[in-house]
Chain A
Amino acid sequence: AQKITQTQPGMFVQEKEAVTLDCTYDTSDPSYGLFWYKQPSSGEMIFLIYQGSYDQQNATEGRYSLNFQKARKSANLVISASQLGDSAMYFCAMRDSGGGFKTIFGAGTRLFVKA
C-alpha cells in the first residue's frame, strides 16, 4: 500500500543555514513520482520539486534539492540558505500507478526560520 511518512512535526533553522526535511515512502510500484509542496500560512499549496523513480540524478530547483535514496525509500528535501519566507508547512507526496495515479501526502513538517 502507498504510504508517506514525515517524522518531523516541526523543525527550526537559522536564517541562511541549510535544513533537511525527512520523508520516507512505501510503494510496490516500480514507477512512481515524488513531490514536495510548501503551504504557507496563507493556505495555498505550492509545488516545489519533483523526483521520478527512474531519474538517475537528484532533482534540484533553485535553493531546493531532493536527496533521493531509492533503496532506502527516502526522498528528503534540502533547503539551502534558508530565508524567513521559507517558514511554512512542507509536505512530501507520492503518485504511482498502483494507486491509480492519485497523489497521497504525508502529515507534513512545519519549518520555522529564525532571524
Chain B
Amino acid sequence: DTGVSQDPRHKITKRGQNVTFRCDPISEHNRLYWYRQTLGQGPEFLTYFQNEAQLEKSRLLSDRFSAERPKGSFSTLEIQRTEQGDSAMYLCASSPMGVAGDLGELFFGEGSRLTVL
C-alpha cells in the first residue's frame, strides 16, 4: 500500500529543542498539506505545497516553523526552539489536483504526535 506515511509517529522532546517531521505523500499527488490537531479539536491548517512550491502559510505558522518540499515529493516540517504549546498531533495529507474525477478529498497519514516537556 502506498498511502501517506509520516515519521516519526511519536516524538518526545524537551522545551527549546528542534524537531523535524517527515511526510511521504501518495506518489502521484502533487498537493501536500500540513495540519496541526490538538486533543478534541479539528485539524488546523498550517501550510500547503503544490509540487515544490509553498503556496500558503497560516498565521499559526510562526517563524519557528518551517516546511519544505524540495523535489515536490516528500516534505519536512521543522519546529525550532519548541515550546510546550507546540504539543499536538501534526497531520500530513496529500491530494491530486486537476485529475478527472478528483473531488479534492485529502488522504491523511497517521500523524506525528509531538510532546514537549
- 8 Å CB interface, A86-115 against B: 91, 95, 100-108
Contacts A100-B56, A102-B45 given; does A43 touch B89 at CB 8 Å: yes
Q: How large is the interface on A (under 10, 10 to 19, 20 to 34, 35 or more residues)?
A: 20 to 34
Judging by beta carbons under 8 Å apart, are A91 and B43 in contact? yes
Judging by beta carbons under 8 Å apart, are B48 and A105 in contact? no
The smallest C-beta distance from A35 to any residue of chain B, in angstroms, reads: 6
Closest to B95 in A: A103
Judging by beta carbons under 8 Å apart, are A107 and B104 in contact? no
CA A43 – CA B39 in complex, angstroms? 11
Task: Name B105's contact: one of A4, A47, A107 (CB within 8 Å).
Answer: A47
**Chain A at the B interface: mostly helix, strand, loop or mixed?**
strand
* Residues of chain B contacted by A103 (CB below 8 angstroms): 33, 45, 104, 106
The smallest C-beta distance from A55 to any residue of chain B, in angstroms, reads: 11
The smallest C-beta distance from B13 to any residue of chain A, in angstroms, reads: 20
Q: How large is the interface on B (under 10, 10 to 19, 20 to 34, 35 or more residues)?
A: 20 to 34
Contacts A102-B45, A102-B48 given; does A45 touch B106 at CB 8 Å: yes
CA A2 – CA B111 in complex, angstroms? 25
Max chain B CB contacts within 10 Å: which of A6, A52, A108?
Answer: A108
Judging by beta carbons under 8 Å apart, are A45 and B104 in contact? no
Judging by beta carbons under 8 Å apart, are B111 and A43 in contact? yes
* Residues of chain B contacted by A108 (CB below 8 angstroms): 40-42
* Per-residue contact bits, chain A 18-53, to B (CB 8 Å; 1 contact, 0 not): 000000000000000101010000111111001010
- 8 Å CB interface, B99-117 against A: 103-111
Ordered nearest first, which 4 A-B pairs have the shortest CB separation? A105-B42, A45-B108, A47-B105, A50-B103
**Residues of B bordering A, CB below 8 Å:** 33, 35, 40-45, 48, 55-56, 89, 91, 93, 97, 103-111
Given contacts A45-B108, A100-B55, A104-B45, 13 further A-B contacts (CB under 8 A): A33-B103, A33-B104, A35-B104, A43-B110, A44-B109, A45-B93, A47-B107, A52-B103, A91-B43, A100-B56, A101-B97, A102-B56, A108-B41
**Residues of A bordering B, CB below 8 Å:** 4, 6, 33, 35, 37, 42-47, 50, 52, 91, 95, 100-108
